[in-house]
Copies of this chain bind each other. A is one copy, B any other.
Amino acid sequence: MAGGEFSFIARHFGPLAGPEALGLKDDAAVLAPTPGQDLILSADTLVENVHFFSDDAPDLIARKALRCNLSDLAGMGARPRGYLLTIARPNAVPDSWFARFANGLATDQEQFGLSLLGGDTTASRGGLVLTITILGEVPHGRAIRRDGARAGDDIWVTGTIGDGALGLLARQGGVPDPDHYLTGRYLLPQPRLGLALAGIASSAMDISDGLVQDAGHIAQASQVSLTIRTAAVPASDQARALRNVLADRWLPLCLSGGDDYELLLTCPPDHSDAIRQAASSARFAITRIGSVSQGKPGVELLDEQGRRFSLSQAGWQHF
């Protein structure tokens, strides 16, 4: 590590470091795990012009990167503990960019209660590449996994579905977004941390790839069939306002578009009150959208009349 790197790290990231980071001066962080807790670990790489645009606000890039990882913790029922950050940076990115980037991290560190544990900066020959490895904790044996859905369970989602995909489309100028709500949902997702899932949900995950695809992940991991009543899937007022504008494209975008960062979970029916209560305590909306059954692992979509249909990029069709 060259002297300039030390200065760069100390200036921008020193203020973000928790005590476990040893001032970002050692090669590694030293963390005392909380006794009786399991550690939850997730790593994601974000690439310029793949996951974010070069002209996105640096503080929002930082916050979204952190929030996507926090959302992975939320999907396991964990609380955040800290994160490591590596940055491969082209020479062209100015110091002021990183000052704003670090400000964004500081904002969300405070909001979500975690600190920087360590990391690395290096040169990039291509665009900017960011990797966050996040650590969370959950009481031993109580992490919620994808493979616990059972026939007879109900399917639930937090918040509203489709805002992320519609927000991206709005940002690209494809649809109006008069109050910037959808764009905001895309740029700054809200990780659903703090929902007490242990002992209530049989499986859970965060929705990053789109509701239908992520439901498929639970179906595959749990070897069950998930049936979703699409008319029950909650949409925001702003999303519903685009229904006529987008016509047949609306439903596929909402159900498959991704970037929602809501939670998808399954619960036995006798835990319905408990999950509603947990959501109420966390101040999240929660909606029952379907049920789990035995059968070929996969996802079945039902329309308002209970007829099965399938999605495609162009729209949807009945079987």
Q: Chain A: residues with CB nearer than 8 A to chain B?
A: 1, 22, 25-33, 35, 37-51, 72-73, 75-76, 78, 84-88, 117-120, 122-127, 129, 131, 133, 135-136, 138, 140, 143, 145-147, 205-206, 208-209, 217, 220-221
Give the distance to chain B from A204, nearest Cβ to Cβ, in Å: 10
In the complex, what residues of B have CB within 8 A of residue A124's CB? 47, 50, 126, 129
In the complex, what residues of B have CB within 8 A of residue A123's CB? 47, 50
| A146 engages B26 (CB within 8 Å) | yes
- Rounded to whole angstroms, the CA-CA distance of A46 and B123 in the bound complex is 9
| A86 engages B122 (CB within 8 Å) | no
| A76 engages B28 (CB within 8 Å) | yes
Known contacts A124-B50, A125-B50; A143/B30 CB under 8 A? yes
| A145 engages B45 (CB within 8 Å) | no
Give the number of times this chain occurs in the complex, counting copies.
2
| B43 engages A39 (CB within 8 Å) | no
| B72 engages A28 (CB within 8 Å) | yes
| Choice from B22, B29, B42, B140 contacting A27 with Cβ under 8 Å | B42
Give the distance to chain B from A131, nearest Cβ to Cβ, in Å: 4
In the complex, what residues of B have CB within 8 A of residue A29's CB? 40-42
Give the distance to chain B from A202, nearest Cβ to Cβ, in Å: 14
| Choice from B35, B47, B72, B208 contacting A122 with Cβ under 8 Å | B47
| B73 engages A28 (CB within 8 Å) | yes
Known contacts A32-B38, A35-B35; A26/B205 CB under 8 A? yes
In the complex, what residues of B have CB within 8 A of residue A138's CB? 30
| B25 engages A217 (CB within 8 Å) | yes
Give the distance to chain B from A164, nearest Cβ to Cβ, in Å: 15
| Choice from B46, B47, B118 contacting A41 with Cβ under 8 Å | B118
| A48 engages B125 (CB within 8 Å) | yes
| Choice from B1, B35, B39, B205 contacting A30 with Cβ under 8 Å | B39
| A41 engages B26 (CB within 8 Å) | no
| A26 engages B86 (CB within 8 Å) | no
- Rounded to whole angstroms, the CA-CA distance of A225 and B31 in the bound complex is 29
**Extra 20 A-B pairs, beta carbons < 8 Å, given A39-B39, A49-B125:** A22-B146, A25-B146, A25-B147, A25-B217, A25-B221, A26-B76, A26-B221, A27-B208, A29-B40, A30-B40, A42-B118, A43-B84, A44-B120, A45-B87, A50-B122, A50-B125, A51-B122, A88-B129, A125-B126, A126-B126
- Rounded to whole angstroms, the CA-CA distance of A151 and B33 in the bound complex is 33
Closest to A3 in B: B213
- Rounded to whole angstroms, the CA-CA distance of A127 and B47 in the bound complex is 11
| A86 engages B41 (CB within 8 Å) | no
Q: List 25 A-B contacts (CB under 8 A).
A: A1-B209, A26-B76, A26-B146, A27-B42, A27-B76, A27-B208, A28-B75, A28-B143, A30-B76, A30-B143, A31-B38, A33-B38, A35-B35, A42-B84, A43-B85, A43-B131, A45-B120, A45-B129, A46-B122, A47-B122, A50-B88, A50-B122, A88-B129, A124-B126, A129-B129
